[in-house]
Amino acid sequence: MKKIINQPENVLEEMVSGIIRANEEKLERLEDSYVIKQRNLNDQVSLVSGGGSGHEPSHAGFVGDGMLQAAVCGQVFTSPTTDEVLKAIQAVDTGKGVLLIIKNYSGDVMNFEMAMEMAEMEDIEVRKVIIDDDIALGEDESEQGKRGVAGTVLLHKILGAAARKGYSLDELAELGQVVVDNVNSLGVGLRGATVPEVGKPGFTLEEDEIEFGIGIHGEAGYKREKLQPSKEMASEMLGKLKEAFNWSDGDEFALLVNGMGGTPLMEQYIFFNDTLNHLEADGIQTPFRKVGDYMTSIEMQGVSLTLLKLQDDWLDLLNEDVDTIGW
């Protein structure tokens, strides 16, 4: 294992310290915690998200005006504790309530929901939105159902813009569920990621092998194949996404091509170009497009493809300015 770290057991502490010290004008750290908070809060409903570390810039990179008010950082690929989530809720409540954005993993859901219950006992109004955009596995193929992956970032953006516009807590929770119902993602992996304290990759692929449907913690996908050109990978993934959306000529989508952490931007843009060619040939409009590392898996090589079917004023909300380090 070759990584630019000190002791494996200290990576979270040292990463959080680095994030704060590099962005002191925007962010602050709650004392004795791994909660990263927006330094100056607006008078609005606050949004809190988080999860295991190793997915940077998710989620701390999306803390700031127009997106999240706090991110709770767990150990690498490990859910944050209930106490940490509760600290975040308490710190960002302005009296207008707190919305939790939770990726659909059993540990995340359990700990965030327990913190929600504890906060409500303190008379803090809390609602939740659980995102499960990964279509690699069906609802009945995984114990916890579909996984939450890169579509989470688009959810952060839409809800963050809406919260800043003055939406109520209930309005945000309702909007969040509609967004979740209209976003789907799928990934492909070329090489596994190594958790520092484990010291070896979570999975291995042959040099000429790829895996479709890989998860952001290295969870198994739905099939392994020989390495193929980018345009063929895009075709495979879009085929499953088309089936999930049942789209029609003229439908409008937000398009996110997300790097998994170890994929050069050159390759991400090639894959994006191929994806767009396929979509345009199908008559699909993509008025919002984004390429880059947004929901990574340490140094995993691969990409994910997220499509959000646009409606109402979502495009305007996606295009609102934000003041974060990751968007």
Q: Please, what is the angle between helix 106-121 and helix 82-92, to 10°?
A: 50
Sheet holding 183-191, edge to edge: 223-226, 209-212, 183-191, 301-309, 252-259, 285-292
Please pick, among 59, 156, 217, 278, the residue that the annotation labels catalytic: 217
Q: How many residues does the chain have?
A: 327
Cα 16 → chain centroid? 18
Is residue 57 reached through a cis peptide bond, with omega within 30 degrees of 0 on the bond before it?
A: yes
Q: Hey, is 71 helix, strand or coil?
A: strand
- Residue of 55, 59, 156, 278 with catalytic role: 55
Nearest to 74 by CA among 114, 102, 108: 108
The Cα 122–Cα 113 span in angstroms is 14
55 in catalytic set: yes
Question: Does 156 qualify as catalytic in the annotation?
Answer: no
Picking from 276, 297, 270, 59, the residue whose alpha carbon sits closest to that of residue 190 is 297
3-state secondary structure of 27: strand
Instruction: Tell me which residues are annotated as active site.
Output: 55, 217
